[in-house]
Structure 1
């Protein structure tokens, strides 16, 4: 199986606070990698680094045929990046689509307009072609009948499914999920996780930061347990069912047996 993503020695600090120390892992094409760990462990920073929403201090990341050595990405005058770096990061960002915790939909646009915005504006696709593709995606996530509604007319779970369709509309090589159910009411979580499981079955390559440990067990080809800016343990679902590291054992016991 071919690796789509290769991450080597990723590091990031905010002032004196070191968030990522030395993160290295690969993601095979057509597989699902989940990242679990306590709050403040660095897992979301790993994800945001894969989309360059956060610029690491060091480390090399390859997604497909695009490689970025972040140690060479340094702001110049007034914090502005050189043109060559901006172009490289634009190419890098285009490789992935991000699904955020809190939807981030345009409130003044309808469901289908939210999904077509990216392909039309960033990829130059015609509105007609984008709308046809968006309609198919909305059907895929179970929202065809809500195409002309505005975000305020949708539930949180429905908004999150629009967010998933919006990410897929860009036809990315890699789909990133940043705790996609953390802002939802418990009864809405299942619908969103069901959509993600369907995407996994279709062969989308995904990296998911999640606190839904049982979901991670079901859907993952690879599980990374991150703590203190390091990958403490990695493997398949056995990281959850039979963790070997004491820190992983302690974390999962608190999550799975809170009382």
Structure 2
């Protein structure tokens, strides 16, 4: 590992297999505080597995992840005979997960709770915040994502884009040092995508540290500080978007972008 003060996030030599299929292979990269990293690549290339490895939702077979002051060497996080982790291992993963907030492809809101209650739940249950304080912050976060007028609505009363924006507010409510987005617009109708991307652009402008798996190339070009192009479980090309997206050097990157950008 490099100097722990240099970067907010360090991933070193991550690898993960499912059965005989190695999904990610020896991936290393860093993320500076206050920057946006976009991960792009074809379906099945390992993007989501890599993202989920950063907060231990997926446990790599080997490699090291550090977020802030929490470091996990996954070589030491090995399930026992019954597939269970020890209490110390579970506690370590919980500390890693507490560093980040996650926004999923599907919003996964609690259907029996209002938008406000969905945002309040994490700080109260996970972090022990008072209900009054959590409700006050939740209202402010819903206002930030443009949903102040919808605080008392249930998920079924909201559009897909509105539900996803509640999911973003819920992730921010935990005061994470890192926000992870797993293709947050992929399940949305095209006319709803812009609202979600608009919120994400605002968060980037405010200095939130974000790692985003996305197929929205324009968003990556406008917002990302670095882009990782992943194919076959490895980082094929990485750098600022004006290099990786606008002037890709590797043939695999060029072929992927050509397919993605060709008119329908």
Q: TM-score, length-normalised on structure 2?
A: 0.97
1:246 paired residue number: 251
Question: 1:2, 1:29 within 8 Å by CA — same for their partners in 2?
Answer: no
Q: Describe how 1:78-227 pairs up with structure 2 within 5 A.
A: 78-227=82-231
Query: Is residue 34 from structure 1 mapped to residue 31 from structure 2 by the alignment?
Result: no
Q: CA separation in 2, counterparts of 1:52 and 1:89?
A: 6
1:32–1:205 CA contact under 8 A, matched in 2? yes
Cα drift, residue 173 of structure 1: 0.5
Corresponding residue for residue 10 of structure 1: 14
Number of corresponding residues? 259
Return the alpha-carbon distance in structure 1 between the equivalents of residues 150 and 105 of structure 2.
21
Runs ≥4 residues deviating over 6 A: none
Matched residue, 2:55: 51
TM-score, normalized by length of structure 1? 0.99
> Can you list the C-alpha shifts for 1:176-204, whole angstroms capped at 9, x where unaligned?
00000000000000000000000000000
Shift of 1:249: 0.3
**SS of the residue 1:249 aligns to:** helix
- Paired with 2:226 and 2:171, the residues of 1 have a C-alpha distance of 22
The separation in 1 between residues aligned to 2:26 and 2:228, in whole angstroms, is 13
- Please tell me the root mean square deviation across aligned C-alpha atoms, in Å: 0.9
Gaps of 5+ in 1: none
**1:231, distance to aligned residue in structure 2 (A):** 0.1
Q: What does residue 24 of structure 1 align with? A: 28
Instruction: Provide the residue aligned with 2:262 in structure 1.
Output: 257
| Corresponding residue SS for 2:60 | coil
Aligned-pair distance for 1:258?
A: 3.9
* 5+ long unaligned stretches in structure 2: none
Deviation at 1:80, TM superposition (A): 1.2
Q: How many angstroms apart in 2 are the aligned matches of 1:87 and 1:42?
A: 26
Q: Is the 8 A contact 1:225 1:234 kept in 2?
A: yes
